[in-house]
Amino acid sequence: MNPYNKRLKKWVFFYTDFILKGTIQSERIHPMDVQMAVFHCADGFLKQLMVTKLSQCQYALPLLVPDPFTQQIEFPLWTFRQINKSWKKRNTNNETISQSQPIYKAQTPMVFFFRFGSLSSSKSQLMNSLINEKHNTFFHRNCPGSSRTRVLMDGVVEIAWFCPSGTNDDKFTDCVAFCNLHGDAGDHEKQLQILTEMASVNVVLLPRLDRNDGHAAKIQNLYKDRIPLIFLFTEDESEINEMREGKIKIGLKDRNQADVSEELRRAITDCLSQSSSTFRLEDVTKHSDIRVDEEDDDDCRRGREAAKQLMSLLEKKSLREIKDSFLPHQGKLWRQWSKKNKELHRLRGDETEMDISRKQTEIKKIRQQQHESDTSKFMTFFINEIQSDTANKKIYFLKWFEILLDEYISADLSAIHNKYDKKWSTVVRLKENYDKSEQLITEQTELDRISEELQAAALGLEHIMREIGQIYESCSSVKKNKKDLQVHFSSLPSLAAEMMISGFPLELMDGDAAHVPLIWISAVLDELIQKLGDQRVFVLSVLGLQSSGKSTMLNAMFGLQFAVSAGRCTRGAFMQLVRVSDEMRTQLNFDYILVVDTEGLNALELAGKSSRDHDNELATFVVGLANLTLINIFGENPAEMQDVLQIVVQAFMRMKKVRLNPSCVFVHQNVSDVTAGEKTKEGRRRLQEKLDEMTKLAAEEEVYDAEFFSDVIAFDAQSDVKYFAHLWEGNLPMAPPNPKYCENIQELKKNIMSHARKSDKMMLSHLKICIKDLWEALLNERFVFSFRNSLEISAYRKLETEYNKWSWSLRSAMMETENKLHNKIENEAIHEVEETDLKRELKKTSEKVEKSMSEFFDKDKDKDILIHWKASFEIKIKDVQENIARETKRKLNEILQQRDLKKKIDAQRTNHENTLYEKSKELALKLKDKANDKETLKKEFDLYWEQCVKKIITDTPQIKHIDILTDVKRLLSDVHQGYLPLDHRKEGTEDSIFNVLRFSEYVIIKRSTKKVITDAVMDASQTVNASFGHAQTLSPEDEDKLRSLVSHIVQQTDRMIQSFNISKMGYNISTIQQLIDYINKRVKEHQGGSVKYVFKNEFFMVLVLSIFKRANKMIADQHRLFREANDPVLYLKRRREEYYSIFQKYCQGAASAAIFGEIICQKLKEPIEQSVYKKTARDLASEMRSNCESLNGNRSNLEKHILKTLAEEEDFEKYMNYIHEPTDHFKSFIRDEVTQYITDKFSVSVLPKMKENIELLQQKIMKAAHESTEHVKVNSGDVGLWLKSFTQQLSGELIFSEKDLCGVKHDDVKDFNLLEDVIRQELPAIMSDISNRFNTNTFPVNLDYKFRPGELLIDHFCQCCWVQCPFCKAICTNTIENHPGDHSVSFHRVSGLNGIYYNNTDYLCAHICTSAVASSTLFFFPNESQKVLWRDYRTAGEDYAKWNITPDLSELPYWKWFVCRFQKDLEKKYSKTFEGQGKIPAEWKNYSKQDALESLDKYI
């Protein structure tokens, strides 16, 4: 058991017993007993915290503490280590001298008070009157809550210090320590001995001098001692009287307390003037027989030794030298890196991709230099120590280090502060006198120099952690460990995370470099998540002027450790974790409060200048990060208030514009009378007016429509404005905290908790992303334009993935329904399809999807973000259901219409088959007597077969092979004869329409606009050299519209070809004519619109031929399936063996039922095969949707895998297809993925799935046969009834009906049990045959296109957004077609990939959209009459306004690698070069294919 736990357990028994006794005696517990009980139970850290807080509140502190059980005296020196005291005194020249020291180091006079016996007067109360008569520094008998009985205070020595303010009304002119021994001094000889020896003045209280008193000997010894002694007699009425030199007596009985106090003060002052002895806390340790807590605690002792060893490495260097020598990573290099990074993100107008790459290279070079910097022995030792296994020892080490470091730097820092104060006073005096002489300039320059010196001298634990952070960032950037670093750099964030958990603040924004070390902060938060779990946090930040009490307020509210001492004001921003208790956790629904403290706004920077930009940056950052921001206003100066409010209002306005919704509370500190209702009411009104005024000013600057502060943020002036009393009650340094201030703190805390209950909670993982998003947006200056909410993007992508699953569930369910109804239509079981019936079939799946949606939106960890899209996605899912039902109805109605049209084809085939059955039966009857002569039977059957087939072929024309392109050319030739003779066409023109770079060669500009366009383009190129252009005849907008026209025509012709159902209806040249007519109609409609050109005849010809060449394989495949099913030569050849088997059975005299059963099985063979193939295709599509890595996510995931495949294959033509024909490429990719999946998984997944489907179908067939037999028996029916029942039961499973057997005579079938048995016997062989023929060559080739798994998945995935970026043509990655919100892509491309080039040049453009929009002077021309800044691209028209392109200056290796890899191919394709303005930066060539592939995982 931990020693502190043992001690606590011991004390619980002790104090429980004491409380019970006190209760019986109706005696209240003494407050000091409570304090001492906690002190005894506490560990070293809690003791130190208690004593530090007691000191801040100007209460006396335990100096010597006897153990209640053993009476051993403990000196808790450790508890004093964090206490600093400040005071002012006057020197002989009457100049005020300020002093500030750690109290354990301070050498001051000490006055020791003790008593003998029981007294009527209170010693502690008398001491209070000497130190601060308005405050009970020492608790005494007359204090509220006191009681007669106390258990733990006797023998305790308390100490307090009087600190003068340097004024005439100071009670003492120097700092004086006062010690108070509680209880009868005669009972506590050790304490008495130690303190009387160390005191400058001893003060003893006793009733009177009595030689017979038991303490007379002790008093006699004190009297003889050289140390001044003051007697206070409680039973004596005499005034002050000097018994001899240094020995004074004062009577207390029946005297005025003020008079006594004044006499005693004078007496002590006189004695002190005679005594030269001083007291120092550390000297108490020299006394034997007392236990010193620091020596008794092994962890504390070892921590101190380690800290001393670390400090010894500083080698008495100056503060500036320490940073340069021991902390090189955070100095000049880190500031340079920060500056360069900001320059990179804040591009000047004339900067190109070359400049961007140069800056990125410089940044990498600085990181490399950082990495090459030596890790000092100092840092190595520090890192090794904080990796200590013992948590206590580690914390002791850190605290000791802070203590010793403060001691080390305090003298130098104090001297610099004094110099700064003097110089500042001089500058102020000169300014007040309106002095504009050279002296003012000289003094101001000197002040700036001292400011820089002050900045360089600042050194604390935060600088050490900053150094560790920069070591980590440099190693992380170059991706290797430092040679002289004894641990791996990846372990460093864990150390910082452990420190945060232990209660240490972590620097969030470096105030010196004005930069957030994102890599370091992200890594530390990742480690926090590892150690604590992804906890819920409520982020509370504070903003206000410098030295307005922000940090003090946070420390008081949450017991934090933010720096508050003079000269140690917060720089930048720090964050600290506050754990929420289990009880509060259930009420608040979060686990931690993350408190963010910031440097003061509108403050004089250490460089001596005020930076409004920096203030805006800081305010925007912490406001955006926080759930709630405390706006701290100090005093009642309207001018100061206005400066803060304008910055704050602007920050909240920016949050509103990017859809972040933080809240705020205004804390008005240092208000003289917070209880005056009218005054606070007036104050609230005045604040509201100021906020509204600032809102109007900020709205002008941010271009936002808002008149009142309430338009920007939900704000209630009554509940969200708090008035605070003065922190101190009286004058410093002896003023205690104002109790009213403490009450105000508690009220504010309640208000914060109230806000927290209503606030959206943030996970630690979300916090990390939020920090990154906010800072990256701020780096780009234009915050609103640059802000990219990664949390929303991540949540939306997750929603897209779920949407994909929901829509696939609906689509998959409808496919099953469609298949069932399709079969029934073919079987003529139904004759119409209603949409309501389809929706009813979908209802069960729809309810499951709705439930899944509800659970997702209600239970997902990002539910607070997802709620924004809940309503729109519910509507989208309903739209999907409507569309699926509508589309399915359309397809089924087409089948209904085509069913009647193909009746003749089906009837003809059935007639041929059944005629053959009957003819073979007739022949068998003739040859019945030769049933055993197999050779004769075979010869006769072959002769008969040849005659029958010959007759069928004669009566039925053979279905020939088709040549689609020849038919197309013939039709075009007939229509356009004389315009463009086909024999003069260039070779390869047919497919050029899809790869055409510019459509200008296919159009003629109308005469009225030709000159205008040419002039506009020429003028544009003269005005702005960096603008982009295309051809001089068609604007980029017109080119895009033509490309879109071609794409839409292609998609619609694909749909039309599918609807023709060629695999069932056969090919007819009229279908080609329909398609050509449709294309002609669309082209004329487009030309008839508001366009400035007419098409050449060549455009139509090339478009038609290109489309048909593309569709050739699809039509040919479908015609092949039709021919195989309906050409008598082919299908009779395929069925010959089946007919011969039945012929043999006829010859052998088999029963009619047996032969009919075999005929049924033979007739079922093809329907079974098609049914199994289609079902396996649907199952496979569903499996791939779940298991195939490229197809199991959202649209972005699919695109990532496409880009990976392209990079791995390095096929330029495929890249061009992807860039110019993205829809085609996506479809091809999905088909390839399906083919590969079938090949890879055939034996483990596809074949087992098919066999499972065969088995299920076999069971259904046998069940139908059995139930039909039973049905006939029950109803005494005939074979007709059996067949009707059998086909009806299978009508939803197979395309098989009574009409398939209409020509086969079966009236003589009577034995239905035999019929069922034959089917049971024959069916397995058929199923086995189907299974054996099932392989990668037959599946899915033997399926119609629309039933293939690839096409099913294409139908699903291609129902998405296909809008392309108006600049680089990257496709919007949104999974949903017609989605809400802007179009966006994960990362944009180099514009030159699409053929864009600079005006009047042959130089392809090397700009990337996301860097171009960061430029302030780069223009583009969306049309001939418009000139638009890239950064204002949304103003260029509807196509541009719907895109969200945020500045991104990150490396984006993928397309840079592509441009370098295929530079020559691109230049050849576009007949342009990457030279001049478009020269490829040399740095791009350093990217490898591996870099490109890895970047896909990073950015998508």
pLDDT, position 143: 87
Across 1462-1500, b (16+ Cβ under 10 Å) vs e yields: bbeebbebbebbbeebbebbebbeebeeeebbebbeebb
CA angle 1106, 1351, 1205 (to 5 degrees): 80
The token duo for 163 is 């600190």
pLDDT at 987 over 80: no
Q: Which of 1294, 1311, 980 is nearest to 1150 (CA)?
A: 1311
What's the average model confidence in pLDDT over 958-982? 71
Range with the lowest mean pLDDT among 674-678, 765-769, 819-823, 1189-1193?
674-678
pLDDT, position 1173: 92
pLDDT, position 572: 82
What totals of helices (H) and strands (E) does the chain contain, helices first? 51, 26
Range with the lowest mean pLDDT among 96-105, 718-727, 897-906, 943-952?
897-906
pLDDT, position 1019: 30
Check whether the bond before 733 is cis (ω within 30° of 0). yes
Percent of the residues in the chain that have a pLDDT greater than 70, as a whole number? 90
Other CB atoms within a 10 A radius of the CB of residue 732 amount to 12
CB-CB contact of 651 with 620 (8 Å):
yes
CB-CB contact of 1177 with 1347 (8 Å):
yes
Higher pLDDT, 682 or 290: 290
CA dihedral 1343, 1349, 1351, 1353 (to 10 degrees): 170
pLDDT at 954 over 60: yes
pLDDT, position 489: 92
Torsions phi, psi for 63 (to 5 deg): -105, -50
Q: Which of 216, 268, 217, 208 is nearest to 238 (CA)?
A: 208
Other CB atoms within a 10 A radius of the CB of residue 479 amount to 8
402-414 pLDDT, tens digit per residue, is 888 888 887 777 7
pLDDT, position 1008: 52
Range with the lowest mean pLDDT among 293-307, 1078-1092, 1276-1290?
1078-1092
pLDDT, position 570: 59
pLDDT, position 1271: 92
pLDDT at 1473 over 70: yes
Distance, first Cα to last Cα, the chain? 51
Interatomic CA distance for residues 1496 and 1500, integer angstroms: 6
What's the average model confidence in pLDDT over 1298-1325? 84
CB-CB contact of 1422 with 1436 (8 Å):
yes
354-398 pLDDT, tens digit per residue, is 888 888 889 999 999 999 988 889 999 999 888 876 788 889 999
pLDDT bin (cut points 50, 70, 90) of residue 1251 is: very high
User: What does the mean pLDDT of the chain come to?
Assistant: 83
1017-1075 pLDDT, tens digit per residue, is 323 222 223 334 333 467 767 877 888 888 889 888 988 888 888 887 888 888 888 89
Surface-to-core class of residue 639, CB atoms within 10 Å of its CB (0-12 exposed, 13-18 middle, 19+ buried): exposed
| The model's pTM | 0.75
Check whether the bond before 1340 is cis (ω within 30° of 0). yes
Interatomic CA distance for residues 486 and 467, integer angstroms: 15
Instruction: Fill in the amino acid letter for 1154.
Output: A
pLDDT at 605 over 60: no
Higher pLDDT, 368 or 952: 368
What's the average model confidence in pLDDT over 1333-1362? 86
Torsions phi, psi for 542 (to 5 deg): -135, 140
What's the average model confidence in pLDDT over 82-96? 83
165-203 pLDDT, tens digit per residue, is 888 888 898 999 999 999 999 889 999 999 999 999 999
Range with the lowest mean pLDDT among 249-263, 818-832, 978-992, 1099-1113?
978-992
pLDDT, position 415: 77
Range with the lowest mean pLDDT among 250-254, 679-683, 1384-1388, 1474-1478?
679-683
With a CB cutoff of 8 Å and minimum separation 6, the contacts of 920 are: 941, 944, 1139, 1142, 1143, 1146
Please state the three-class secondary structure of 460-497 as a single string: CHHHHHHHHHHHHHHHHHHCCCCCCCCCCHHHHHHHHH
Which SS3 state, helix, strand or coil, does residue 251 take? strand
What's the average model confidence in pLDDT over 928-955? 76
What's the average model confidence in pLDDT over 1210-1234? 91
What's the average model confidence in pLDDT over 1203-1232? 92
Q: Where are the alpha helices (DSSP H) in 25-148?
A: 31-41, 44-56, 123-131
Percent of the residues in the chain that have a pLDDT greater than 90, as a whole number? 27
CB-CB contact of 137 with 160 (8 Å):
yes
CB-CB contact of 1166 with 947 (8 Å):
no
pLDDT at 1153 over 50: yes
CB-CB contact of 1318 with 850 (8 Å):
no
Q: What is 638-683 written as a DSSP string?
A: HHHHHHHHHHHHHHHHHHHHTT---EEEEEEES-S-TT-HHHHHHH
With a CB cutoff of 8 Å and minimum separation 6, the contacts of 548 are: 600, 632, 633, 634, 669
Q: Which of 1368, 1323, 1348 is nearest to 1458 (CA)?
A: 1368
What's the average model confidence in pLDDT over 999-1022? 52
pLDDT at 401 over 70: yes
CB-CB contact of 892 with 1114 (8 Å):
no
845-900 pLDDT, tens digit per residue, is 999 999 999 999 988 878 878 888 888 888 889 988 988 898 899 888 888 887 77
Surface-to-core class of residue 144, CB atoms within 10 Å of its CB (0-12 exposed, 13-18 middle, 19+ buried): exposed
Interatomic CA distance for residues 488 and 472, integer angstroms: 9
Torsions phi, psi for 201 (to 5 deg): -140, 135
The token duo for 727 is 């922190």
